[in-house]
């Protein structure tokens, strides 16, 4: 099996293209390189406001959003805050932990389980896909 360097995601709300009004929810993010993480530190916007780092960084590692294949800083700036928070967590999961999943609990029965952020599948205790559960996001 080849080393996986790109991961698919689905935004909770989606990017609304200001020119067409089209909503883009599905995208691809690649693993970050050292250059991706160091390069933005030289950007004048990041030097003026350290919080801007995530905006520049995400614009470098998101390779596709809907039918858009060129993701600019402006695109990331215009995401809804829910989607920005999702992408920050997704970035952290794939770059620091390797597999994008979350540990959650059912609000009705308090049963705890892991959910694969790419597929939406419920994972077993060993990180492998379990039986029942959603077949994909949204």
pLDDT tens digits, 11-22: 999 999 998 999
137 pLDDT above the threshold of 70: no
Is residue 125 very low, low, confident or very high in pLDDT (cuts 50, 70, 90)? low
Q: What is the pTM of this model?
A: 0.70
Taking every pair of Cα atoms in the chain, the longest distance, rounded to a whole number of angstroms, is: 49
47: left (phi over 0), alpha (psi -120 to 50) or beta: alpha
88 pLDDT above the threshold of 80: yes
More confident residue, 134 or 47: 47
The arithmetic mean of pLDDT across residues 111-127, rounded, is 71
Lay out the sheet containing 112-116: strands in order across. Answer: 101-105, 112-116, 122-123
The arithmetic mean of pLDDT across residues 59-67, rounded, is 96
128 pLDDT above the threshold of 50: no
């Amino acid at each position: 099996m080849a080393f996986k360097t790109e991961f698919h995601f689905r935004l909770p709300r989606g990017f609304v293209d200001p020119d067409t009004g089209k909503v883009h929810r599905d995208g691809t993010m690649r693993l970050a390189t050292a250059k991706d993480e160091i390069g933005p530190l030289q950007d004048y916007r990041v030097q003026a406001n350290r919080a801007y780092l995530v905006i520049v960084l995400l614009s470098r590692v998101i390779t596709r959003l809907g039918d858009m294949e060129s993701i600019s800083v402006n695109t990331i700036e215009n995401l809804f805050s829910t989607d920005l928070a999702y992408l920050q967590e997704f970035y952290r999961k794939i770059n620091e932990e390797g597999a994008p999943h979350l540990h959650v609990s059912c609000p009705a029965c308090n049963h705890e389980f892991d959910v694969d952020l790419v597929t939406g599948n419920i994972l077993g205790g060993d990180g492998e896909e379990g039986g029942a559960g959603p077949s994909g996001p949204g």
